[in-house]
Amino acid sequence: MSWIPAILAVVLVGWFVLSYNSLVRLRNQFRNAWHQIDVQLKRRYDLIPNLVEVVKDYMSYEQETLTRVIEARGAAISAKGPAEQGKAENVLTESLKSLFAVVERYPELKANQNVASLQEELTGTENKISFARQFYNDSVMTYNNKIQSIPSNLIASVFDFSQAEYFEVGEESRAVPKADLR
């Protein structure tokens, strides 16, 4: 019966290799997901100047809204650290929402082909940002499940796979947006 320990050893090594590799794969997946969020944020920074350029001739009375968008964009780009950046991004999202609300009030602006396509691009990018965050959180959940559950938690603790942080929305974006009816 000397082959029993040998088989056990093979099974154990096989389990170790598979578990370790899947932990590495999941860790890389959520790290990559984090960078995908940045890609979409960058794309939003690039789109905003175009939109402002097209819109500003029509909206001579709404300079304040435009200035808020431009300032929020600048603040978001220069923000340091995830917490500060998250806050700045939320301000930018809110300012864009109010800009779109203003666009709704200008029929000739709504009919403009450039504005329509830029609006579609920005809506798409907003969605991509939130789906990228959702995918990041999903990846973190899968990874955390793996490193906390038996038996893969043994490998995780020995090889220092530490728990990943979820992306959290700020308190201000959890509030219900107010409709400005005038």
- Point out which residues bind other proteins (CB under 8 A): 29, 33, 36, 40, 117, 120-121, 123-124, 127-128, 131-132, 134-135, 138-139
Question: By C-beta, is 139 or 152 nearer to other proteins?
Answer: 139
Smallest distance from other proteins to CB 138, Å: 8
Shortest reach from residue 61's CB to other proteins, in Å: 30
Q: How many CB atoms lie within 10 A of CB 43?
A: 16
Nearest distance from residue 32's CB to other proteins, in Å? Answer: 9
Q: Is there a contact between 139 and 26 (Cβ–Cβ < 8 Å)?
A: yes
Select 26 or 59, whichever has its Cβ closest to other proteins: 26
The DSSP symbol for 149 reads S
Whichever of 21 and 134 has its CB closer to other proteins, that residue is 134
Question: Do 88 and 108 touch, CB atoms closer than 8 A?
Answer: no
Distance separating alpha carbons of residues 109 and 58, to the nearest angstrom = 7
User: CB-side exposure of 73: number of CA atoms within 13 Å?
Assistant: 19
* Nearer Cβ to other proteins (78/145): 145
Token couple for 175: 């509030």
